[in-house]
A and B are shown apart, each in its own frame.
Chain A
Amino acid sequence: MATADPVAEYLSQLQRALIGVDAAVAHDALVDAEAHLRAAIKAGKSPAAAIEAFGPAADFARAYAGAPAPDHHAATEVAGSTHPAASVASGPDASSGALAALSRIPLVGVWFHPRAWSSLFYFLAPCFLISLATFVWVVCVGSLALGTLPILIGLPLAVFLLGSVRVIALAEGKVVEFLLGVRMPHRVQPVQVLTPIGGVAEVGFWQRIGCWLTDVRSWLSLAWALGNFFVATGLFCIFVVLGALVLVMVAVPLAQAAGMTDIRVDGEWRDVQFLWERVTPDADGHVRISAVTSVLSIVLGMALATATLWLALGAGWVYAQVVKAIQVTRPQAVARRFTVIS
């Protein structure tokens, strides 16, 4: 019969005390507590003494939940490290300085919010590219796996696909963490388990495969890999169209005023419609937009650009929450977990 692990019991208590707390915060709290208690035991303390010195789980949970997340200061991760705790959201943010003050201006402050720009960039490039590549990968390998399932070759292929999707999701999470600013602590996987006679054994290859198959995040990641393609494509289209509209509404009147463009129509065209103004080309086919329309076009274009940035900021937050819900679940009850890797 397996011996009860006091640290695992304490962590289970802590997990219960963290119900209702943000998943990333709960994850950090559990990882910090476990790392501390294991270090104390390793240093020669008894588990009971280490837990006593650490303090009640409820007090720790309350204090931890009240502490602000270090989400705007980058933790330096060493190469090859797999520690889940020090993974924090870094990258652009408007947390301090003049930029922060400007970003708090109502409505137009979004122009000075680095997260709005990084979100816009994310939806215009990485999001679309990652989702496209992942979709193609899943469809190709998934089809191959399904097609060869009758001759059993498909089985290892399907497991390989599941593993690869987990890796892709992890990489996507890091990009989301950097550009959208929502912490994505590493996944928690058991690397050691209690044996039936109370000893400790390393998790073997087949047990690891079993973990993948039983981890709901594997299947959610697979579903997300397929569904995200449509979400990402939709967002990409929306932001490309909005960007193009803003460019036309702002740049064309400015360029024409500066004499940089010569809008000319050829052929049978009699009139040109620019926003609400119908412009008749002159004898050479040149089109001149009126000054009033130009000014109004620039004003409207800037307003649309502001709305686009707000949309990017909001969509970025929602998107990151979805990715977080898929990737960052609370660490499982740790009764059988000794240490963690990503």
Chain B
Amino acid sequence: MPSDLQDKILKDLSNGTAWLVVLAIVAGSDEPAHGYEIGRRLADEAPEGLSFKQGTLYPMLRTMEAEGLVRSTLVPSTEGPARKCFTITAEGRRVLVVWVDAWKRTGRWMNRIIGGIDGNR
């Protein structure tokens, strides 16, 4: 496979899944999540082969905020300016359930089709 196409597919896969992952990280956070923490988890816990530039996170959060899925709050910090942190909204939780369901169904579908393929052969 030409490397350009391979890169494109991996990039599309990263971008497509990042939305769900970001919303899930915000939803799973006990406290309002700071952008850096979300980005760190997004990048550090990404599977091998998929890379996330942490800068892509902010336009995503901005879009999610515009759509009412997350809400930004300012959390005072003793070490500097207040930090902009994100919490999920009720609408965000509803959308997350829809996305997770879609992802699970997509996963099952993918596994049925590619489950028999061994990548090492």
Count of residues in A whose CB is under 8 Å from the partner chain: 42
Residues of B within 8 A of A56 (CB): 53, 55
Q: Any chain B CB within 8 A of the CB of A129?
A: no
A54 within 8 A of B: yes
In chain B, residues 26-45, which have Cβ atoms closer than 8 Å to a Cβ of chain A?
Answer: 34-36, 39-40, 43
Chain B residues with CB under 8 Å of A36's CB are 35-36, 39, 54-55, 58
Nearest-CB distance from A56 to chain B (Å)? 8
Q: Is the CB of B83 within 8 A of A35?
A: yes
Q: Total A-B residue pairs with C-beta atoms closer than 8 Å? A: 122
CB-CB under 8 A from B55, the residues of chain A are 33, 36, 54-56, 59-60, 63
Shortest beta-carbon distance, B58 to chain A, in Å?
5
> Of all chain A residues, which has the CB nearest B68?
A73
Is B66's CB under 8 angstroms from A83's CB? no
A57 to chain B, nearest CB (A): 8
CB distance from A226 to the nearest CB of B (A): 33
Question: How near does chain A come to B91, taking the closest CB pair, in angstroms?
Answer: 10
**Complex Cα–Cα for A59 and B54 (A):** 11
Known: A59-B55, A75-B74. A39 touches B84 (CB 8 A): no
A173 to B50 alpha-carbon distance, docked (Å): 43
Task: Tell me whether B74 and A66 are in contact (CB under 8 A).
Answer: no
Chain A nearest Cβ from B29, distance in angstroms: 15
Within the complex, which residue of A38, A40, A69 is in contact with B62, where a contact is CB–CB below 8 Å?
A69
Those of A62-78 within 8 Å (CB) of chain B:
63-64, 66-73, 75-78
Known: A32-B35, A36-B39, A82-B82. A75 touches B54 (CB 8 A): no
Verify if B80 is at the interface (C-beta below 8 Å from A): yes
23 residue pairs from A and B, CB less than 8 Å apart: A29-B58, A33-B58, A35-B35, A42-B79, A53-B43, A54-B39, A55-B54, A55-B55, A56-B53, A59-B53, A60-B59, A63-B56, A64-B62, A67-B62, A67-B63, A67-B66, A69-B66, A76-B73, A77-B74, A78-B73, A78-B82, A83-B83, A340-B81
What 9 pairs across the A-B complex have the smallest Cβ distances? A55-B53, A70-B65, A39-B36, A55-B55, A67-B59, A60-B55, A63-B59, A83-B82, A68-B66
Name A residues whose Cβ lies closer than 8 Å to a Cβ of B.
Answer: 28-29, 32-33, 35-36, 38-40, 42-43, 53-56, 59-60, 63-64, 66-73, 75-78, 80-83, 85-86, 88, 96, 339-341
Please list the residues of chain B having a beta carbon within 8 angstroms of any beta carbon in chain A.
Answer: 34-36, 39-40, 43, 53-56, 58-60, 62-63, 65-68, 71-76, 79-84
